Chain A
Amino acid sequence: MNVIQLQPLDLVLASSLLLFDAAISVVLSLGMHRQLLWSSVRMVIQLLVVGGILHTVFSISSPLTTLGIIVVMMMAATYEVAARPSQKLSGWQGYRIGAITISLTSSITVLIALLTAIRPIPWYDARYAIPLMGIVVGNVLTSASLGIDTFLSGLFQAKGVVEARLALGETSQQALSPLIRDAIRKGLIPIINQMSATGLITLPGIMTGQILAGAEPMQAVKYQILFMFLLAGGGGLAAVVSVYLTAHAVTDKRHRLRLDCLVRRRK
């Protein structure tokens, strides 16, 4: 593949566009120029650090190092799943649900890709496993946190309805089923939108990256299709697992609604 090597000067030139944004912010009194500059500096530093780490990990090529990186990615995603919803579960419940959802769904999705479609040698090759895990974890995180947030917010609003159904002898599963369905649906919307828009409204990142790196367009398209299927599968699985685990966490064995498990986020 013929990759056009970028030089530092190329990046400096591109950054002038950001300075243009900052100038607009100053002229129009948007008050966002500091934020723009700070986030771009953060982005550059973060990516350079990640690039350095990946370079080292790829050259070490040890399964343990790869596993270590993947665990760190999963831990960060677990924190996000627990912290993002506007209604949060008390204690460690949110982290427990986040950890189970992220580790289970992203591992299943990535293993399927590595063992059936991509099949690198060895199958745990860091060059494939880590980027794949990165994109899947990010997607799974979005689906899980959207699902949990929708479920808990809906539950807070519909507490009276759920309790009325329980009082009439429904199981907690029956009483919560409309909320569970809504939450899973919400968790799947981003990936459905992404699939619908792909190729028509946007050229997706993976495909664009591969084409820029010199891959044949059809080869890049195949990769993109594979990723879309993986992301849809992983996202759907994450929405289902996270919402059902959350539904289980807010009820008890006697089919009672336990809103005392929720901590309302301070605004």
Chain B
Amino acid sequence: MSSLQSTSAVQLSIQVLQSEFAGPFSLDIYQGECIALLGGSGSGKSLFLRMIADLDPNTGSLYLNGQSREHYSAPEWRRNVIYQAAEPAWWERLAGDHFSNEEKEFIKPYFDSLGLSHAILEAEIIQLSTGERQRLALLRSLAKRPQLLLLDEPTGALDIATTLAVEALLMKFFQAGLSLLFVTHSEEQAKRIGHRLIRMHNRQLVA
């Protein structure tokens, strides 16, 4: 049991969540908790995250701060429980066009710590490296101020120094109350920032 489990309230309670392809899953995520999800390729980690974000058809009960998922419209739910895919997608030509003015102001203070140029918002998406896009996608998700962030291999395209910078940023956010469930293939990373490690095998959570 992590120390958070005795001091924090449950932020997201997942009860018997299942789909045609994965589950059932039951898990409590505490406020400010960071859970690392490990498992082999094809074990169902991304499916689990997508089900929590309600992007794939599923059954089961989910409660965010005690409120049932049915209480929220689907877009409202996803603004509070944001899922970020391993390969984030972009749809505007310029990076900055993916952010509102208020979101731009919110993310700018984090550019230096993540090693991003302040001119990145004026850059064309196709000019950015995979690593720059991945960091910018993380900021795009954080700018929505979710209560829970579901990250699928958020540092998969980054070198170790940048990975550590991203981890430091994430720690700031979950110390401020953001909960995080992230997929990683690195035991070291899971141990570095995860309050808890959970594993998945054959589309089931294992002890």
Contacts and interface: CB of A to CB of B under 8 A. Distances in A.
A168 B140 contact: yes
Contacts, number: 57
Contacts of A165: 89, 91
Contacts of A164: 85, 88-91
B31 interface: no
Contacts of A178: 91
A256 B75 CA distance: 10
B54 to A, nearest CB: 6
B26 interface: no
Contact of A255 (B56, B75, B83, B88): B75
Interface string A150-192: 0000000010110111111111000000100000000000000
B87 A168 contact: no
A178 B84 CA distance: 21
A113 B74 CA distance: 44
A13 to B, nearest CB: 59
A263 to B, nearest CB: 18
Q: Which of B53, B74, B83, B140 is packed against the most chain A CB atoms within 10 Å?
A: B74
Contact of A170 (B56, B75, B140): B75
A252 B57 contact: yes
Given A161-B91, A256-B74, A169 B55 contact: no
B85 A254 contact: no
Contacts of B89: 160-161, 163-165
A178 B92 CA distance: 11
Contact of B54 (A161, A168, A256, A258): A256
A154 B144 CA distance: 27
A259 to B, nearest CB: 11
Interface string B108-143: 000000000000000000000000000000001100
A165 to B, nearest CB: 7
Contacts of B84: 167
Contacts of B57: 252, 256, 258
A252 B57 CA distance: 9
Interface residues of A, number: 20
A183 to B, nearest CB: 16
A51 to B, nearest CB: 52
A177 B55 CA distance: 18
A167 B53 contact: yes
Contact of B79 (A163, A168, A253): A168
B82 to A, nearest CB: 6
Contact of B55 (A161, A170, A256): A256
The listed residue with most B CB atoms (<10 A of its CB), out of A166, A171, A253, is: A166
A151 B34 CA distance: 40
Interface in A118-173: 158, 160-161, 163-171
B195 interface: no
Contacts of A253: 74
Interface in A234-267: 252-258
A139 B79 CA distance: 42
Contact of A169 (B56, B75, B90, B91): B75
B54 A254 contact: yes
A252 B58 CA distance: 12
Contacts of A167: 53, 55, 78, 82-85
Contacts of B140: 168
Interface of A: 158, 160-161, 163-171, 178, 252-258
Interface of B: 53-57, 73-76, 78-79, 82-85, 87-91, 140-141, 144
10 smallest beta-carbon distances between A and B, as pairs: A169-B79, A164-B89, A160-B89, A255-B74, A254-B74, A161-B89, A167-B83, A161-B91, A169-B78, A169-B75
Given A158-B91, A256-B55, A258-B57, 4 more contacts: A167-B83, A255-B73, A256-B56, A256-B74
